Amino acid sequence: MIDLTDLSDKNLKKLKIDDLTHMFMDSINEQTLKMIEGINYLIKEDFDNFEKNLRYVIDTKTEIQIKKAFEAKIFKSKLMFSKADRLKVFSKINDIKDIGEYLANKLLVYKVVFPDEKFKLRIELILKYLREISVNLVDAVKTIGTDLTHAHDICEHIKDERRKMRVEEWNLLRRLWNYEMDYIPKEFIYLKEMIEGIMMLADHIKKFSEYIQFLATKYYYFK
């Protein structure tokens, strides 16, 4: 397990490309989980913790140090053919942070009260899926280096989960669009954009997992 507490440049320089990638993935995943937790606080109308968690996603910059160390290292590295692909994996992890930060900023503009319990349950279900595919993605990224077949299988699971999420998304949107007309539009827009934001993150994770499958297919010595 990589220690995320001591991120001095000196320590980062000692790490291998793989270690830096895993550390970066852990850091981004931690922020994604914080955001999911934050949205769960929002569902419970615990606005303080909601804001605290989402602020954490926006304000955390530790991954920038890791990113800089990685970029400096891979530029000079003598890795063979997977150099460009590793850089792409790293940039795809970074995209999760970008989407997460965008979503966190968007969610912080307003503090919504959810329309009813069923809606809350469905959002919780979507968040549960998001949490699962996010954690699975960490496993997939960490497994690329040691077992491409396993990484490929994990990604297949991510795609299945994301498919279930998509079904839930349509259920949620259908529910949202069918509320009584006296429901205030500001909340409607907020919830719609929240669902779309969560799905944007899920879509990126799905595309990322497809890229991992592409790498596995590209590099694995098939019998």
Partner 1 sequence: MEFEIAGIIVIFLITLAIGLAFSIGANDETSAPLAAAGTLKIRMVLIIGGAAIAFGTIFLSQGVASMVGEKILGPGIKYTIFMLFAVLISSIIWLVIGSFAGIPLSSTHSLIGSIFGVVIVYALFYGGVDPATAFNWDKLGSVVISWFLSPLFGLLVTYGLYKLIEKFYLSKKKGLNEIEISEKKFAWALVIAIIFAEIWVGANSAEALGILYALYSNGEIDLVTYYFFVVICAILAFLGLYIAGRYVIRNLASQLTDARPSDGFIIQLSAAIILMFCTVFYSVPISHSHVIVFSIIGLNIAQKKEVDYGKLGKMFVFWVLTFPLAALMAGLIYFGFLSFGFY
Residue 140's SS3 state is helix
x/- site string to partner 1, residues 74 to 113, per CB under 8 A? -----xxxx-------------------------------
The answer to the question of residue 154 lying near partner 1 (CB under 8 A) is: no
Per CB under 8 A, which region of 122-130, 144-152, 177-185, 193-201 contacts partner 1?
Answer: 144-152
Decide whether 31 or 143 has the Cβ nearer to partner 1.
143
Cβ atoms of 152 and 219 within 8 Å: the answer is no
User: In angstroms, what is the minimal distance from the CB of 80 to partner 1?
Assistant: 5
CA atoms of 91 and 73, how far apart (whole Å): 14
Kindly tell me which of 152 and 162 has the beta carbon lying closer to partner 1: 152
3-state class (DSSP) for residue 52: helix
Q: Enter the tokens of residue 120.
A: 């809350």
Residue 143 within binding range of partner 1, rule CB under 8 A: yes
222, 132, 96, 58 alpha-carbon torsion, rounded to 10°: -160
Q: CB 74 → partner 1: shortest distance, Å?
A: 13
Contact between 223 and partner 1 by CB under 8 A: the answer reads: yes
Residue 61 interacts with partner 1 (CB under 8 A): yes or no: no
Q: Count the site residues for partner 1 by CB under 8 A.
A: 18
Give 146 or 178: the residue with its C-beta nearer to partner 1.
146
Contact status, residue 200 vs residue 99, Cβ threshold 8 Å: yes
Cα separation, 60 vs 58, in Å, equals: 6
- Neighbour tally for 193: CB within 10 Å: 16
- Return residues touching partner 1 (CB under 8 A): 18, 79-82, 143-149, 215, 219-223
